[in-house]
């Protein structure tokens, strides 16, 4: 057999296997309803893994196989509060908001754009770092970005300065910010990898966040607000390890420099992550969940409420040098409870499709075997997508009590006023406008 033909033959076999696994779920869906069901965003990653994309680039230079999960506990970094006396001078906190310059990276992302809007509403001088092509699949050009930020600050006494640059390139970012010739008081980092793949995670969640820190410090920033994620408490995925690695950088910087402080915000699930099945349920499809629908729970938070909390972190002394888990108002909800709520609001009899968690385990085991034994197939990201789907299908987005090692809804702080029920009502009436999943949307 010609060794040069072997990869192509294996790819054909792998595609056939992936199609078979993919259609197992599709057949189950069709048995229940003639309308195709749409998985929530917790499920799309698993489907991506089953489709087995075969052209992923190799891992980045800053990714190493020997990176161990960072041992990160609530007590170590004050998740439940810190007894340490802050030595941060934080002179900017004595100034009025209109004299405080806040640099925002990830400003055009799902949460970032709301953070920019909220900071501008409160009167801060916002410097929004943006890509020249932003939005879903780069659909927005520079003019659209300028227009959006201009409308956000049009009724305020302050304006939003847009800095078009590349956060993935430290030299480019530094030059762009230096060109503004403005001091920076605070950096708010809302960066997040688009898909959670191995390369993207370390490129964005770690390296670009680090670039943001370096750029801000060069211009005098003494406080850094980071948008992280509550799921990093139990790290088993590359994007979680990348986020934790950068959290560690912030802590080290604060230990080295008494004048520097940080606020690490770890939100639970976002509303849009739970809205992916509304249209399919409206059309008569089942609500899809894994296991019995009670494997995991979350206290979802709206983008406006999260943006408000992050803006609080700029000036609130009690949020300095702390890790801040945060959820939305109300009780924690399981997928089963979310589905029951959705059917009640739509006025339909509940129909559930419960997918065995073992389906994920089977596909992940195949992918892990192929990654280990056939590395030339470049299936590393495909395996990672499967693991991400598996993680969100079984792990709660709540605080882990360090004493018991279990998720604790009562200890997960609540903030804001927007509820998931109100969000579902809006989506039922108006669709997912403004909540599009972009690259996270499979159908």
Please tell me the distance from the alpha carbon of residue 334 to that of residue 338, in angstroms, as a whole number.
Answer: 6
Residue 131 in this model has a pLDDT that exceeds 90: no
Of 24-28, 91-95, 337-341, 358-362, the one with minimum mean pLDDT is 24-28
Of 21-30, 84-93, 228-237, 305-314, the one with minimum mean pLDDT is 21-30
Of 10-24, 387-401, 404-418, the one with minimum mean pLDDT is 10-24
What is the residue whose two structure tokens read 């609530």?
74
pLDDT of amino acid 133:
72
Task: Name residues whose C-beta falls within 8 Å of residue 129's C-beta, 6 or more positions apart in sequence.
Answer: 103, 104, 105, 106, 107, 163, 164, 165, 167, 173, 176, 177, 212
pLDDT of amino acid 55:
36
Question: Per-domain residue ranges for the chain?
Answer: 6-62+334-412, 91-275+292-326
Greater pLDDT, 338 or 33: 338
Sorting pLDDT into bands at 50, 70 and 90, what band is 415?
very high
Sorting pLDDT into bands at 50, 70 and 90, what band is 94?
confident
Convert the pLDDT of each residue in 62-73 to its tens digit.
333 333 333 333
For residues 324-334, b (16+ Cβ closer than 10 Å) or e, as one string? bbbbbbeebbb
**Phi/psi of residue 59, nearest 5 degrees:** -60, 155
Convert the pLDDT of each residue in 268-323 to its tens digit.
999 988 999 999 999 999 999 999 999 999 999 999 999 999 999 999 999 999 99
Q: Can you tell me the mean pLDDT for 345-374?
A: 93
| pLDDT above 90 as % of the chain | 63
* pTM for this prediction: 0.79
Convert the pLDDT of each residue in 384-398 to its tens digit.
999 999 999 999 999
Most confident of 85-94, 146-155, 287-296: 287-296
Q: What is the CATH number of domain 91-275+292-326?
A: 3.40.50.720
Q: Can you tell me the mean pLDDT for 22-33?
A: 36
Please tell me the distance from the alpha carbon of residue 356 to that of residue 365, in angstroms, as a whole number.
Answer: 15
Please tell me the distance from the alpha carbon of residue 343 to that of residue 278, in angstroms, as a whole number.
Answer: 9
Q: What is the mean pLDDT of the chain?
A: 81
Most confident of 152-161, 204-213, 432-441: 204-213
Sorting pLDDT into bands at 50, 70 and 90, what band is 80?
very low
Q: Can you tell me the mean pLDDT for 335-348?
A: 98
What is the residue whose two structure tokens read 């399981």?
334
pLDDT of amino acid 298:
97
Torsion of CA 359, 364, 365, 368, to 10 degrees: 170
């Amino acid at each position: 057999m010609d060794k040069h033909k072997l990869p192509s033959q294996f790819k054909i076999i792998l595609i056939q296997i992936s199609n078979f696994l993919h259609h197992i779920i599709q057949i189950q869906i069709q048995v229940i309803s003639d309308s195709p069901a749409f998985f929530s965003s917790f499920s799309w990653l698993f489907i991506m893994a089953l489709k087995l994309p075969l052209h992923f680039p190799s891992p980045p230079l800053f990714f190493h196989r020997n990176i161990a999960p960072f041992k990160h506990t609530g007590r170590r970094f004050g998740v439940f509060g810190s007894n340490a006396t802050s030595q941060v001078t934080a002179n900017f906190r004595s100034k009025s908001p209109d004299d405080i310059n806040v640099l925002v990276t990830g400003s055009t992302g799902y949460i970032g754009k709301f953070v920019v809007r909220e900071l501008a509403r409160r009167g801060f001088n916002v410097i929004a770092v943006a890509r020249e092509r932003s939005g879903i699949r780069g659909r927005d050009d520079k003019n659209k970005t300028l227009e959006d930020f201009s409308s956000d600050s049009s009724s305020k006494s302050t304006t939003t300065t847009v800095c078009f640059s590349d956060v993935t390139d430290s030299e480019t970012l530094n030059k762009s910010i230096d060109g503004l010739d403005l001091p920076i008081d605070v950096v708010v980092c809302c960066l997040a990898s688009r898909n959670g793949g191995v390369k993207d995670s370390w490129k964005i969640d770690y390296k670009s966040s680090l670039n943001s820190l370096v750029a801000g410090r060069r211009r005098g920033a003494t406080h850094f607000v980071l948008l992280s994620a509550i799921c990093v408490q139990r790290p088993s995925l590359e994007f979680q390890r990348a986020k934790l690695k950068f959290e560690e950088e912030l802590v080290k910087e604060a230990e080295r420099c008494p004048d520097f402080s940080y606020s690490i915000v770890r939100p639970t699930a976002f509303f849009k992550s739970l809205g992916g099945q509304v249209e399919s349920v409206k059309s008569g499809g089942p609500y899809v969940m894994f296991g019995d629908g009670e494997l995991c729970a979350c206290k979802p938070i709206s983008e406006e409420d999260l943006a408000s909390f992050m803006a609080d972190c700029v000036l609130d002394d009690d949020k300095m040098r702390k890790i801040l888990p945060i959820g939305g108002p109300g009780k924690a909800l399981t997928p089963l409870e979310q589905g029951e709520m959705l059917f009640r609001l739509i006025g339909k009899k509940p129909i559930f499709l419960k997918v065995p968690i073992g389906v994920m385990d089977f596909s992940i085991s195949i992918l892990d075997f192929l990654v280990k034994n056939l590395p030339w197939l470049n299936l590393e990201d495909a395996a990672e997508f499967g693991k991400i789907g598996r993680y969100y299908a079984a792990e709660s987005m709540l605080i882990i009590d360090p004493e018991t090692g279990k998720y604790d809804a009562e200890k997960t702080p609540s903030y804001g006023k927007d509820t998931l029920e109100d969000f579902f009502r809006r989506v039922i009436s108006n669709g997912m406008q403004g909540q599009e999943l972009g690259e996270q949307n499979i159908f």
